[in-house]
Amino acid sequence: MKKQPFLYIASVLLLALLSACADEQNFDQIDDLSVEPLVATSIFYFESDENTINAMPAGQFYDQNFTFEAFNEPFVADNLLDGKITYQLENTTSKELEIMVEFLDADGNVLDSETFILQPEQTFPLEVEVNYGVGGQSLDILRNTTDIRVTGNNMTDNTSISTMPEPKVILRTSAEFRLKLQ
């Protein structure tokens, strides 16, 4: 009789071992996993002081295109779901300025462009968001962009001087895009 408690415990443990079972598992659920991170990064920063603008003839004071292949990298292009480009502009010069950003494909064709008119001595930054994907511009614009062209036009004169400290025009850009990793 003394052995009974131990045998009882051993029997219960053995029974547990022998009656091993498992809830129903569905490993196909892995196909339903959705991993879509929202990635953010700055794209480019443009700045010019008023003296430089005044040193140029009135009209176009800057025109530069450069390669930009962040979006047409195969991994990004293949997994891009949607995106947003944010432009922030400041103009503390005494001039009305036009800043234009163009997205170009490998053949130099303009896929899309954004034009910003900045009033003289703007006291608050202008912020513009452009959406791509559902409800916005075509994602193919981003996927096929290999170059960006930045153009600055002075719509006023090249002699006036702003009363604001360190007058300059600034364009900041950043991108937020959603990728489908799984």
Partner 1 sequence: MSKFTVFSYTVLLGMVLTYAQNRQLQYDFYEAPQALLLNPGSRTPYKWHAGLPLLSNTALQAATSGVTVNDIFANDGLDFTTKVRDRVVNGLSQNDEFGASGQVELLYGGFRNANRPSDYYSFGIYGEGYVAQYWPKDLAILAFEGNANNIGRRFSLNHITTQGELVNVFHLGMNRKLNDKWTVGARAKLYSSVFEFKSRGNDGYFVTTLGENNILRNSVIADVSLQTSGIEGIFDSADGEPADLARLLVNRSLLGGNLGVGFDIGFTHKLGKSTFLTASLLDIGFISHSKDIENYTLRGAATNEGIEIILPEDLGDLTTEIWQELIDDLEQQLPFETNQDAYISLRPVKLYSSLRYNFGETKDKSKDCDCGTEVLERDTTFDYVNAVGAQFFMINRPRGPQTALTAFYQRRLGKVLAVKATYTADKFTLTNLGLGINLQAGPVNFYILADNLLGYQNIPDSNYASLQFGFNILSWNRN
> Minimal distance in Å, beta carbon 117 to partner 1?
20
8, 38, 115, 180: which one contacts partner 1 (CB under 8 A)?
38
Nearer to partner 1, 139 or 169 (CB): 169
- List the one residue from 1, 23, 75, 166 that touches partner 1 (CB under 8 A): 23
Query: Restricting to residues 146-165, which ones interact with partner 1 according to CB under 8 A?
Result: 147, 150
List beta partners, residue 82: 178
Please give the single-letter amino acid code of residue 66.
Answer: F
Taking residue 87's Cβ as centre, other Cβ atoms within 10 Å add up to 19
CB of 6 to partner 1, least distance (A): 6
64 token code pair: 């530069």
All residues at 6 or more sequence positions from 55 whose CB lies less than 8 Å from its CB, including other chains: 158
Q: Does 131 bind partner 1 (CB under 8 A)?
A: no
Gap between the Cα atoms of 132 and 86, Å rounded: 11
- Could you tell me if 178 and 83 are in contact, meaning their C-beta atoms sit under 8 angstroms apart? yes
Kindly tell me which residue out of 76, 77, 86, 140 binds partner 1, with binding defined by CB under 8 A: 86
H or E stretch covering 173: strand 168-179
- 58, 68, 79, 160: which one binds partner 1 (CB under 8 A): 68
Neighbours of 94 (CB within 10 A): 19
**Which residues make up the interface to partner 1 (CB under 8 A)?**
3, 6, 9-10, 13-14, 16-17, 19-27, 29-30, 32-35, 37-49, 51-52, 55, 62, 64-70, 86, 88, 147, 150, 172-174, 176, 178-179, 181
